[in-house]
Amino acid sequence: MSAFLPLDPLGIDELLGPEDLAIRDTVRDWAADRVLPHIAGWYESGELPGIRELAWELGSIGALGMSLEGYGCAGASAVQYGLACLELEAADSGIRSLVSVQGSLAMYAIWKYGSEEQKQRWLPGMAAGELIGCFGLTEPDVGSDPAAMRTHAKRDGGDWVLSGRKMWITNGSVAAVAVVWAQTDEGIRGFAVPTDTPGFSAPEIKHKWSLRASVTSELVMDEVRLPADAVLPGVTGLKGPLGCLSHARYGIVWGSMGAARASFEAALDYAKTREQFGKPIGGFQLTQAKLADMALELHKGILLAHHLGRRMDAGTLRPEQISFGKLNNVREAIEICRTARTILGANGISLEYPVMRHATNLESVLTYEGTVEMHQLVLGKALTGLDAFR
């Protein structure tokens, strides 16, 4: 009988093959070397210095667009991509967001819906981390109802003229290409917009109390003139951006468990070394109950992510199942962080420990790419057959 491992109590690692473990360990080692020694300072200062170098390094280990085939992408499995997301978010949600937006939103949109010319132009450089991309869907007055977006594009001779604003856009201020969704006379269309096009600007959003080690921007399009071949030809309508969001939400199912794992491990280590009333606090029943409950939800969440990953690899994963995973895992990750903070006591609010940083980051993860309420309604409709969205 194998030993009980406190950090892998269900033996989940036994479900992974040698290549899965190698990819996980590569990403974990990179994050330990390049992110963890600096992340508290980056978070405190509210910036992500050297983002272009970090992107290049992530490209060099195959982490950008890693589940896509061709064009310099790694062609990894969904489970392998999920493991990478978990390790990146165990370092910081902002780093995982950089990778998710690059690969699962911007690159995926071009890979899935773009022309061959668009793929050849953008994807190899993005996979290598030489070019950064962003994804413009959310607007200042339009979040959960993207069909009501006001950004619009109109034909003008052989060109398109694009105008509007997008909000809360990760990577926006450093992107070379923005995938922007807009209303047209033909329906909602996506555009691959070079960010050096006249009329395009991306002012960075400051004063955030969450995802502080991440570049977050507004996109402003003021009569941006684009050639006819800037439009993504492979899709019309909301199924385009929603398909991209499903791919990115899947990464969040895994990533959120990374933040939860880091907080749990910090609390477990602290409980074994912090003494009160003459013994480590981990020896008291209430603390052990907290640790047991945290471990239950953490490893149930990882098992759920693993199950969804196998379904994605088999081509059987449904959008409702992704909603199931995001709703459960982000919600439980936040609770794990909050419980971990109580074990650390006053030290739980210090940046010397990762717990409060992960907790505040998860408040953003909870609402982006689908709020709690939207995922509840997705599942409610699937369960009842009745549409409560309108």
- Reduced DSSP (H G I as helix, E B as strand, rest coil) percent helix, strand, coil of the chain, to 5: 55, 15, 30
Task: Give the integer Cα–Cα distance in Å for 55 and 130.
Answer: 7
E strand segments, the chain: 133-136, 152-156, 159-170, 177-184, 187-194, 200-201, 216-227, 275-276, 279-280
How far is Cα 314 from Cα 309, in angstroms, rounded to an integer?
9
Distance CA 107, CA 126 (A): 7
Residue type, 370: G
Among residues 14, 116, 369, 373, which one is catalytic?
A: 369
Token pair for 27: 């990403």
87 belongs to the catalytic site: no
Residue (of 313, 206, 300) closest to 10 by Cα position: 300
Q: Which residue has the tokens 């419980």?
A: 339
Say how far apart CA 119 and CA 72 lie, in whole Å: 11
Q: Which residues are catalytic?
A: 369
